[in-house]
Amino acid sequence: MLRYILRRFLWAVPVLIGVSMLVFLLLHLVPGDPVKVFYGLEMNDPVLIEMKREELGLNDPLLQQYLRFTGRLAQGDWGNSIQTMRPVLPDLLERLGNTAQLASLSILIAIVAGLSLGMLSALKPYSLLDNFSLGLSLAGISLPVFWIGLLLMWLFSVRLGILPATGKGDWRNLILPSITMSGPSLALVARITRASILEVINRDFVRTARSKGLAERAVMIRHVLPNALLSTITVIGLQFGYLLAGAVLTESVFSWPGLGRLIVESIKARDYPVVQGGVLLIAFIFLIVNLLVDLLYGILDPRIRTG
């Protein structure tokens, strides 16, 4: 198992290098000058602009700029923001912490509600509860996240006045954005759980367990769920990664100072170091999440443990 973990971390190195190259090239191919954005569109002094470009190394060839970026990164230097001139890494970690709060609560809501709906639907297929669960799942997947956020904001903040609408304050500020973010993940977890249980519940080993006189609860807990939840764990792991990386719509609607919002603002400002560092951080998180999912496979099902 230790060799497998080390091998996965070694494979992460070329993946991160590929991501850094792709992001670097895309940023520099997009039209726009970060120096002009820094000074403002009204700046017409070409000498000052050229001095700033030389200071930032933007006049160097792209290969030289990329090698300088990766060399500093290998030494733990993530660079400084072009807009604020502050170190990139502390700002990224602060914003990541804010996004992690939303993503953690959102995935917790999705796991609890999604697993419950999926199991109840599978135990009573084609019933009224099953139809309600499928309809709710379809709505959660289909409705835009920003529309759900605005609707919740109008209901609980404007009409009822019981929850704050925007900003980062106490725990109450987490409720509306977390519920908004959890919608698609909750729907997907419920659908995958239902389908997986219906597939496993009629297999031979389940019928054998029932024929031995085991209670239905024991059959579900010992035999059905460990086999049915493998697909669900994959979905949960990937959804948690997506929530960390793709929370920009929710963060924009609720004015939440998260990582996704910072990256989008930095793209608009052509702040190359912040965007490159943010994307690399997200890619590393995805790799860690995928590794944890693979390790959970071995815990739930000994047949697929890695040698």
Nearest to 199 by CA among 125, 307, 140: 125
Task: Tell me if 86 is assigned to some domain.
Answer: no
Task: Tell me if 12 is assigned to some domain.
Answer: no
Residues 70 and 96 in one domain: no
Task: Tell me if 135 is assigned to some domain.
Answer: yes
Residues 196 and 244 in one domain: yes
Q: Say how far apart CA 187 and CA 139 lie, in whole Å.
A: 8
CA angle 73, 77, 82 (to 5 degrees): 100
Q: Say how far apart CA 180 and CA 21 lie, in whole Å.
A: 33
Q: What pLDDT shows up at residue 303?
A: 62
Q: Tokens at residue 114, please?
A: 């999604």
CB 197 within 8 A of CB 186: no
For the chain, percent of residues with pLDDT exceeding 70: 94
At residue 156, φ and ψ (nearest 5 deg) are -90, -20
Residues 120 and 157 in one domain: yes
Out of 9, 40, 74, pick the residue that ends a domain: 74
Residues 70 and 99 in one domain: no
Which residue numbers in the chain have pLDDT < 50? 306-307
Q: Say how far apart CA 54 and CA 62 lie, in whole Å.
A: 14
At residue 80, φ and ψ (nearest 5 deg) are -115, 150
Range of the domain at 177: 92-304
Q: What pLDDT shows up at residue 43?
A: 67
Residues 28 and 121 in one domain: no
Q: What pLDDT shows up at residue 108?
A: 92
Task: Tell me if 209 is assigned to some domain.
Answer: yes
Q: What pLDDT shows up at residue 304?
A: 57
Task: Tell me if 3 is assigned to some domain.
Answer: no
Residues 102 and 43 in one domain: no
Residues 110 and 143 in one domain: yes
Nearest to 18 by CA among 206, 254, 279, 193: 279
Residues 206 and 280 in one domain: yes
pTM, two decimal places: 0.79
Task: Tell me if 217 is assigned to some domain.
Answer: yes
Q: Which CATH number is 269's domain given?
A: 1.10.3720.10
Residues 36 and 121 in one domain: no
Residue with tokens 């999926």: 118
Task: Tell me if 168 is assigned to some domain.
Answer: yes
Q: What pLDDT shows up at residue 210?
A: 80
Tens of pLDDT, residue by residue over 59-82, are 888 888 888 888 888 888 888 888
Task: Tell me if 9 is assigned to some domain.
Answer: no
Q: What pLDDT shows up at residue 109?
A: 92
- For residue 288, give every residue at least 6 positions away whose Cβ sits within 8 Å of its Cβ, in sequence order, or none: none
- Total domains in the fold of the chain: 2
Residues 291 and 216 in one domain: yes
Q: SS3 of 104, please? A: helix
Q: Say how far apart CA 214 and CA 118 lie, in whole Å.
A: 23
Q: Kindly list the distances between the CA atom of residue 49 and the CA atoms of 27, 33, 206, 265, 273, in Å, as whole numbers in the listed order.
A: 19, 10, 72, 22, 19
Residues 50 and 125 in one domain: no
Q: What pLDDT shows up at residue 305?
A: 54
